[in-house]
């Protein structure tokens, strides 16, 4: 039996993307078949669909680094047909066929039970970007950064990771400084809980090794000079969670913030994070994330619209989170 999927193909170095009927026999190895109801648009999906960066490791590929759905059949221990599950990462949409399809076959150990406090649509409004934001917040907490430590700066604040990070941190009582290139999103960011909004230009110039100490911690999804500036402005003993590269992969910094201010740079990877850490992140989200604020930052699109939006996310034009609804 066939089903609908977005398929990325490559012939003679030319990449094409279309919505096709995909055969169930073409699904990849796994002990569990999931009927998908929602996926989402993440930055990596933008890279995969446009081919802007070689994240796709086999063709044909179905994009979608996350999904939520119902187990259709399984031989995995602890799983049953009818279970509501979600998936983040593990190489889906890169090496393993992803979530922009009506079905997926995966190893059952990649699946997380859908937390009772989230509808399927809300779980994908969080998606991999939001779950990564939660991993960043856990890194700050584990680093001993508390609401009393001082302000936390969030870069790329109007994007997916940034929006969820602002909201989560504000709900936990932190004072959040949101850095954005979109001045028109100041009202939006304050609604999410930011106490102050600063223009991204303040973090764009080449920094000196150390600048005035401003922030107790940071969630950075931008990288490059922005991250270098954040490190130079972080207070003594602070923690900076680094998860993204929206401005570039480079990091033009020095050892000064580390050896003179004892700052910790915590790398965040959502793809291969162990199940216990995933469970902590989803528990934090379930307990803390304001569902009406989550609704404010979310738009819901069809598979067709999601393909069209893939280029926009790379240009920083998508606000908050985009859920991809998989129609029957």
Which residues are near ligand NDP by CB under 6 A? Answer: 42-44, 128-129, 132, 156-162, 180-182, 200, 221-222, 226, 243-247, 268-271, 313, 316, 318
The pair phi, psi for residue 128, each rounded to 5°, is -70, -35
| Residue nearer to ligand NDP on the CB measure, 99 or 162 | 162
Work out how close the CB of 254 gets to ligand NDP at its nearest, in angstroms, rounded to a whole number.
21
| Residue nearer to ligand NDP on the CB measure, 22 or 90 | 90
| Residue nearer to ligand NDP on the CB measure, 146 or 299 | 299
The closest residue (CB) to ligand NDP is 159
Work out how close the CB of 68 gets to ligand NDP at its nearest, in angstroms, rounded to a whole number.
17
**107 CB contacts (<8 Å, ≥6 apart)?**
29, 30, 31, 32, 76
Work out how close the CB of 131 gets to ligand NDP at its nearest, in angstroms, rounded to a whole number.
8
| Residue nearer to ligand NDP on the CB measure, 30 or 159 | 159
| Residue nearer to ligand NDP on the CB measure, 37 or 226 | 226
From 54, 58, 62, 50, select the one nearest 21 (Cα to Cα). 62
Work out how close the CB of 108 gets to ligand NDP at its nearest, in angstroms, rounded to a whole number.
22
Residues 47, 52, 57, 62, CA torsion sign: positive
Work out how close the CB of 21 gets to ligand NDP at its nearest, in angstroms, rounded to a whole number.
29
Cis preceding linkage at 162, omega within 30: no
Distance separating alpha carbons of residues 179 and 176, to the nearest angstrom: 10
From 317, 194, 190, 152, select the one nearest 246 (Cα to Cα). 317
């Amino acid at each position: 039996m066939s089903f609908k999927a977005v398929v990325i193909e490559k012939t003679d170095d030319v990449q094409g993307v279309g919505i096709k009927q995909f055969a169930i026999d073409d699904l990849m190895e796994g002990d569990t078949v999931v009927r998908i109801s929602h996926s989402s648009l993440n930055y990596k999906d933008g890279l995969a669909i446009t081919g802007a960066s070689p994240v796709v490791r086999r063709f044909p590929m179905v994009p979608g680094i996350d999904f939520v759905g119902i187990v259709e059949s399984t031989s995995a221990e602890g799983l049953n047909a009818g279970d509501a599950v979600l998936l983040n990462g593990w190489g889906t949409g890169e090496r393993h066929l992803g979530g922009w399809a009506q079905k997926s076959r995966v190893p059952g150990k990649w699946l997380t039970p859908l937390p009772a406090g989230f509808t399927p649509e809300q779980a994908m409004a969080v998606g991999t970007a939001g779950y990564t934001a939660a991993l960043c917040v856990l890194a700050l907490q584990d680093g001993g950064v508390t609401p009393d430590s001082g302000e936390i700066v969030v870069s790329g604040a109007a994007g997916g990771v940034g929006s969820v990070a602002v909201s989560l941190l504000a709900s936990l009582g932190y004072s959040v400084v949101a850095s954005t290139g979109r001045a028109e999103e100041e009202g939006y960011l304050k609604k999410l809980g930011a106490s102050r909004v600063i223009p991204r230009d303040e973090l764009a110039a080449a920094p000196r090794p150390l600048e005035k100490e401003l922030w107790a911690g940071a969630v950075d999804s931008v990288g490059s000079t922005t991250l270098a500036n954040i490190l130079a402005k972080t207070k003594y003993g602070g923690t900076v969670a680094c998860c993204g590269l929206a401005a570039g992969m480079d990091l033009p910094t020095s050892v000064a913030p580390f050896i003179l201010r004892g700052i910790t740079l915590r790398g965040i990877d959502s793809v291969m994070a162990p199940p216990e850490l995933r469970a902590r992140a989803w528990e934090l989200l379930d307990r803390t994330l304001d569902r009406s604020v989550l609704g404010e930052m979310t738009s819901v699109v069809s598979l067709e619209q999601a393909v069209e939006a893939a280029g926009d996310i790379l240009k920083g034009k998508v606000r908050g989170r985009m859920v991809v609804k998989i129609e029957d």
